[in-house]
Amino acid sequence: MSDLVGQARAAMRHAWAPYSNFHVGAAIEANDGKVYVGCNVESASYGLTICAERMALGAAVVGGARKLKRIVVTTEVDPPAAPCGACRQLLAEFGMDLEVIAVGPATERRWTLAALLPDAFTKESLDR
Q: What is the DSSP string of 25-55?
A: EEEEEETTS-EEEEE-B--SSGGG-B-HHHH
pTM over 0.85: yes
Q: Which of 53, 76, 93, 108 is catalytic?
A: 53
Instruction: List, in order, residues 6 or more apart from 15 with CB less than 8 Å away.
Output: 23, 24, 25, 39, 40, 41, 52
Domain boundaries of the chain, sorted by first residue: 2-126
Task: Please give the share of the chain, as a percent, with pLDDT higher than 90.
Answer: 92
pLDDT value of residue 112:
97
pLDDT value of residue 24:
98
Sheet of strand 25-30, all strands in order from the earlier edge strand to the far edge: 35-39, 25-30, 68-74, 99-103, 108-112
Banded pLDDT at 13 (limits 50, 70, 90): very high
Domain 2-126 homologous superfamily, CATH: Cytidine Deaminase, domain 2 (3.40.140.10)
pLDDT value of residue 45:
95
Residue 53 designated active-site: yes
